[in-house]
Amino acid sequence: MSIIGVGIDVAEVERFGASLARTPALAGRLFLESELLLPGGGRRGVASLAARFAAKEALAKALGAPAGLLWRDAEVYVEDNGQPRLRVTGTVAARAAELGVASWHVSLSHDAGIASAVVIAEG
């Protein structure tokens, strides 16, 4: 296996939250319902959503940032052990297949008002 691409992104939590508040439909354009909800029910907080947004940006960068990728074709989910994972479909899966991506590695963080994510595409 070899690394095909690496992406990193940061998002200012307060600014991201203001964008969601200003444009209520934005959350539905960026995230699947499963990403908006906590495993036990309830809604994810803005810091967690900002980290997921950063992961989607980092994923696009790992794929070379081609035009035409759809936000909702990438899902950030968490395994039972708490490890974040990526599930790709549609436009994102097509680009990943074109590049030979076989697996993903993702790390999310948020602290001091900044959310960050790193994505590694491996083939």
Answer yes or no: is 35 a known binding residue: no
DSSP the chain: --EEEEEEEEEEHHHHHHHHHH-TTHHHHH--HHHHB-TTSSBPPHHHHHHHHHHHHHHHHHTT--TT--GGGEEEEE-TTS-EEEEE-HHHHHHHHHHT--EEEEEEEEETTEEEEEEEEE-
Answer yes or no: is 80 a known binding residue: no
Show binding-site residues for Mg(2+).
Answer: 9, 57
Show binding-site residues.
Answer: 9, 57
